[in-house]
């Protein structure tokens, strides 16, 4: 059997490393320590679902110059050996007495001068995927070296997608769209919601998803109370609105968009809400430009929803995506991240429909110098009715 090829040519990863190193230089960082699945995948191309097991930490160190170093459990040596990564150091994990910490300490000590600085993502939307006690051991072993926040350093690089990355998200979106097109085959009055979720996941796989990392949704009269639930055996009823949302994965890249369907017939309220969500998206897609801030997009969406007669709901109205289901920035009133060409974004207007219910609509796009280009095939303007 042939060895599996890299997702992208090594040049893609070398470019990412160089851009991270520019950011490190600007911030005076001697090394970057990455522990989270998305960051490790971004630098190395190491693609596995093994992150599902919390047993072992995985480390990638990006030095100020030169190639990154993988410091990983031996079980990953074969797979990491098939990526572009030139230096791979392993230990037998899990080890209750030293789970890679002495190896990581030695690696960082060799790359960072005594008075140097190690960057680590510590800010919004990050977490340290290693035991906290081990991190504290690492930090004190490496003193007087300082650990400082490198969230912005990583985010400013990851948020600008290459053409190759954009093509992958577009492919994931096309898979999502093919699966959504099959919803009328399995969503109808009387069908249990968990069966619909299951059929939808099968449809995503049959449409070409490598795997389905996220499916959520809801159903109810004129909207749903919740958009993050798993499904129970409750049956769809005539006149309800069903929403399905998915993060399907192709070569490690996500789509993240949803679709609404009326079961049997559409109520006036649901139709009106859907039209307002659709039209607000249409309006804001035309207005997106580099230089707007995330909070400006929130305001544009909120204003567009009001203009089209909908009551905007609280919470964020969109976000970035790519190697994770959701990435920064967040379209909220408080996120001032400037939009830049190359960002892949989700527009996700959400409105209240009464009685604690909401409806939400979502599209994915890439921002270009001259405006937005949709990546998800556009939803129908009118709320589709299924199982009629």
C-alpha pair distances (Å), 370 with each of 291, 292, 346? 11, 12, 18
CB of 327 to a second copy, least distance (A): 8
Euclidean distance between CA atoms 307 and 286, whole angstroms: 16
Which residue number, 250 or 308, has a Cβ lying nearer to a second copy?
Answer: 250
Tokens read off for 310: 């909908």
CB of 212 to a second copy, least distance (A): 7
Which residue number, 4 or 286, has a Cβ lying nearer to a second copy?
Answer: 4
CB of 141 to a second copy, least distance (A): 16
Tokens read off for 62: 């990006």
CB of 99 to a second copy, least distance (A): 6
Which residue number, 305 or 308, has a Cβ lying nearer to a second copy?
Answer: 305
Which residue number, 20 or 231, has a Cβ lying nearer to a second copy?
Answer: 231
CB of 278 to a second copy, least distance (A): 22
Euclidean distance between CA atoms 147 and 245, whole angstroms: 38
DSSP character for 314?
S
Euclidean distance between CA atoms 203 and 205, whole angstroms: 5
CB of 382 to a second copy, least distance (A): 23
CB of 92 to a second copy, least distance (A): 6
Nearest to 121 by CA among 35, 57, 40: 35
Burial 345-382 (b: 16+ CB within 10 A, else e): bbbbbbbbbeeebbbbbbbbbbbeeeebeebbbebeee
Which residue number, 243 or 279, has a Cβ lying nearer to a second copy?
Answer: 243
356 dihedral zone (left: phi>0; alpha: psi -120 to 50; beta): left
Euclidean distance between CA atoms 25 and 208, whole angstroms: 41
For residue 269, with 0-12 CB atoms within 10 Å meaning exposed, 13-18 middle and 19 or more buried, which class applies? middle
Burial 44-72 (b: 16+ CB within 10 A, else e): bbbbbeeeeeeebbbbbbbbbeeebbbbb
Is the CB of residue 354 less than 8 Å from the CB of residue 268? no
CB of 268 to a second copy, least distance (A): 20
Which residue number, 92 or 382, has a Cβ lying nearer to a second copy?
Answer: 92
Which residue number, 139 or 368, has a Cβ lying nearer to a second copy?
Answer: 139
Is the CB of residue 359 less than 8 Å from the CB of residue 270? yes
Which residue number, 125 or 283, has a Cβ lying nearer to a second copy?
Answer: 125
Which residue number, 101 or 279, has a Cβ lying nearer to a second copy?
Answer: 101
CB of 115 to a second copy, least distance (A): 22
């Amino acid at each position: 059997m042939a060895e599996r090829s890299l997702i992208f040519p090594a040049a893609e990863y070398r470019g990412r490393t160089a851009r991270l190193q520019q950011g490190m230089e600007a911030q005076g960082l001697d090394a970057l320590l990455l522990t989270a699945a998305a960051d490790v995948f971004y630098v190395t191309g190491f693609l596995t679902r093994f992150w599902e097991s919390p047993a072992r930490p995985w480390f990638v160190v990006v030095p100020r110059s030169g190639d990154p170093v993988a410091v990983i459990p031996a079980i990953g040596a074969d797979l990491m050996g098939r990526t572009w990564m030139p230096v791979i150091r392993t230990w037998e994990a899990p080890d209750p007495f030293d789970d890679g910490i002495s190896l990581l300490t030695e690696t960082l000590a060799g790359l960072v001068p005594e008075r140097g600085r190690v960057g680590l993502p510590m800010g919004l939307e990050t977490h340290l995927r290693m035991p906290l006690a081990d991190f504290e051991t690492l930090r004190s072993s490496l003193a007087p070296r300082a650990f400082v926040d490198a969230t912005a350093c990583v985010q400013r690089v990851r948020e600008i997608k290459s053409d190759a990355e954009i093509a992958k998200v577009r492919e994931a979106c096309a898979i999502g769209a093919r699966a959504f097109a099959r919803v009328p085959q399995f969503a109808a009055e009387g069908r249990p919601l968990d069966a619909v979720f299951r059929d939808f996941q099968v449809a995503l796989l049959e449409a070409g998803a490598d795997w389905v990392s996220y499916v959520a949704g809801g159903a109810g009269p004129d909207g749903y109370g919740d958009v993050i639930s798993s499904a129970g055996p409750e049956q769809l009823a005539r006149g309800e609105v069903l929403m399905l949302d998915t993060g399907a994965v192709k070569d490690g890249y996500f789509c993240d968009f949803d679709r609404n369907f009326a079961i049997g017939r559409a109520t006036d309220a649901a139709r009106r809400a859907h039209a307002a969500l659709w039209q607000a998206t249409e309006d804001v897609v035309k207005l997106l430009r580099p230089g707007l801030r995330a909070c400006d997009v929130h305001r544009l969406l909120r204003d567009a929803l009001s203009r089209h007669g909908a009551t905007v709901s609280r919470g964020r109205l969109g976000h970035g995506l790519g190697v994770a289901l959701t990435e920064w920035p967040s379209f909220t009133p408080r996120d001032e991240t400037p939009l830049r060409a190359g960002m892949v974004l989700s527009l996700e207007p959400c409105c209240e429909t009464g009685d604690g219910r909401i409806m939400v609509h979502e599209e994915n796009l890439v921002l270009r110098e001259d405006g937005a280009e949709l990546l998800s095939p556009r939803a129908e303007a009118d709320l589709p009715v299924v199982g009629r």
